[in-house]
Amino acid sequence: MAEFLMPHLGADMTEGKLLGWRKKPGDHVSRGDIIADVETDKADIEVEVFTTGIVEKFLVEPGTSVPVGTPLAIIRTDGEAPSVPVRREAPPTQIPSAAPTPAVPAAKPVLVVPPPSPHRIHISPVAKKLAAELGVDVATVTPMGPGGRITREDIERAAKARPAAVPATPATPVPPAAAPAPAVIAPPAPLDKQARMRQTIAAAMARSKREIPHYYLSTTIDLKHLLDWLTEENQKRPVEDRLLYGVLLIKAVALTLREFPELNAVWEAGQLMVKPEIHVGVAISIRQGGLIAPALHQVDKKSLIELMRDFRDLIQRARAGSLRSSELSESTITVTSLGEQGVETVFGIIYPPQVALVGFGKVVQRPWVVDGQALAVRPVITATLSADHRVSDGHRGGLFLSSLERRLQQPEKL
């Protein structure tokens, strides 16, 4: 049996709310199937299952918020026997053969024991009469007479021991002074989704700056050849298949990571864990505010056409709130661009447990020395690297940016 757990959909997630199940007990699921919808502080996520088998049972009801790692369901892997205990058949009841029924002996007379009598009060007739006149409850009187009998003196003593009745106050009752109204403390207003998103982003970024020793590098790259190539390439394509230059930047980063595996990794449990596949997170601003960085999978292995298609789909689903769990948990590096916002240089904060982030600014026209001889005006872009100093240093970071620049000079090889 395998437990299906509340997934960890990013470093800033501590719990999730199960919105609903996409399967039901007894359904067969395969790795990658959507099994549930989970609400996080950033988005509603379609959660995939990573076990192939039969849904044995659910452990959490929809509408419940549980911490990350909480078992949500039990999945019986293929080949396993069901955990439901086998129903054992009851042994057959033996029906005796017909036989003469023995005579039932006559019931013996039962000795009926009378219930104990209630506590009996010994009181003299005079004392009983006096108690009635004075309104004394004889059950509350302590007998002091011989043999535990209540006497006249006991009744008189009990009558005197009663508290005197408080006479009614003839005066006009004075209304009590108005007590000060208790201070009403209004409960804190629940945070809306955008506020919760800002809180989670703040927690993740604070953790990043607290735990990750960043270093930053930048370089300016001539994009004339890349943009000329892109213009010519798009003229050959129908409108729906045209490429954005941002996709070329993402592909160039992915190919460069092949040379620098220490940057295609995460830092977990105090050590570097290099990942075999290159999943690049892309920072996307969502309409209601905030950022999210879902992953494009296996970017280095995809053609530009495939990458462009996946890029468009990812943006649409991120803004529609229909991302998948694997897209929020498997990226090893983030690429961010603020060029559309007019920013020339971006020094990003690493999203833990990742170990690097590449930033791109806007394309600007700058005077540029071409081939070390002529001065020309060129479209250039500033690329930055924010990296974790625990896993790399400025030397390797500089080589990374140099390799990235070379790749962007050869767009036909992307």
pLDDT at residue 80, rounded to an integer:
75
The closest alpha carbon to 73, from 24, 33, 40, 32, belongs to 24
Could you list the pLDDT tens digit for every one of the 414 residues in the chain?
888 999 888 766 788 889 899 999 999 999 889 999 888 877 788 899 888 999 999 999 999 999 989 999 999 887 777 765 544 444 444 444 444 444 444 444 433 433 444 456 777 666 777 788 788 888 888 877 666 777 777 777 888 887 654 444 444 554 555 555 656 556 555 566 677 778 878 888 898 999 999 999 999 999 999 999 999 999 998 988 899 999 999 999 999 999 999 999 999 989 999 999 999 999 998 876 778 899 999 999 999 999 999 999 999 888 887 888 889 888 999 999 998 889 999 999 999 999 999 999 999 999 999 888 889 999 999 999 999 999 999 999 999 999 999 999 999 999
DSSP at 150: B
The closest alpha carbon to 352, from 300, 281, 400, belongs to 281
pLDDT at residue 162, rounded to an integer:
73
For residue 241, the surrounding DSSP H or E stretch is none
What does the alpha-carbon distance between residue 352 and residue 350 come to, in Å, rounded to a whole number? 6
Two tokens at 316?
């649409």
The closest alpha carbon to 344, from 383, 304, 307, belongs to 383
pLDDT at residue 272, rounded to an integer:
93
Helix ranges (H only) for 140-273 are 152-161, 193-211, 224-235, 245-257
Cα dist. 295→234, 299, 324 in Å?
25, 9, 10
The residues pairing with 71 across neighbouring beta strands, listed in sequence order, are: 5
Provide long-range contacts, Cβ within 8 A and 24+ apart, for 93-97. Answer: none
Q: What is the pTM of this model?
A: 0.68
What lies within 8 Å, CB to CB, of 243 at 6+ separation is 230, 233, 234, 237, 304, 305, 308
DSSP at 88: P
pLDDT at residue 96, rounded to an integer:
43
pLDDT at residue 176, rounded to an integer:
54
The residues pairing with 265 across neighbouring beta strands, listed in sequence order, are: 274
What does the alpha-carbon distance between residue 206 and residue 194 come to, in Å, rounded to a whole number? 18
